[in-house]
């Protein structure tokens, strides 16, 4: 939640998907931050954003393991692109539209 690398991944992914900015206020727990990161009223948007957050953290964790165990390193842009690919593949698997996703981010 406070890692600069993971924040960079999240910032790029939010830009590419049009999800908006992450909450900037400091929080006392991950639960508070998670709740503040999700849309309030739209259940579908809340589910979509929860999935995006999970893919951000999943790919950041995989990158940490890649650095430790493989002595290889990706940039936060590359990790954000991997997260976007995961999100796109998930949406395709469930027959959901991907038109709002930037399939080839800058």
- Residue ranges in the chain modelled with pLDDT below 50: none
Look-up: residue for tokens 């395709």?
92
pLDDT at 55: 94
**Residue 99: what pLDDT?**
63
pLDDT for 48 equals 87
Rounded (to 5) percent helix, strand, coil in the chain: 65, 0, 35
- Taking each helix axis from N to C terminus, what angle separates 43-70 and 76-93, rounded to the nearest 10 degrees? 130
Domain definitions of the chain by residue range: 4-93
């Amino acid at each position: 939640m406070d890692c600069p690398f993971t924040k960079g991944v999240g910032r790029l992914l939010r830009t590419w998907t049009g999800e908006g900015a992450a909450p900037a206020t400091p929080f006392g727990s991950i639960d508070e931050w998670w709740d503040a990161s999700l849309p309030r009223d739209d259940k579908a948007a809340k589910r979509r954003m929860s999935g995006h957050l999970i893919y951000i953290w999943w790919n950041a964790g995989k990158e940490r393991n890649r650095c430790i165990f493989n002595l290889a390193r990706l940039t936060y842009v590359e990790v954000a692109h991997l997260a976007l690919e995961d999100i796109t593949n998930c949406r395709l698997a469930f027959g959901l539209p991907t038109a709002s996703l930037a399939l080839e981010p800058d």
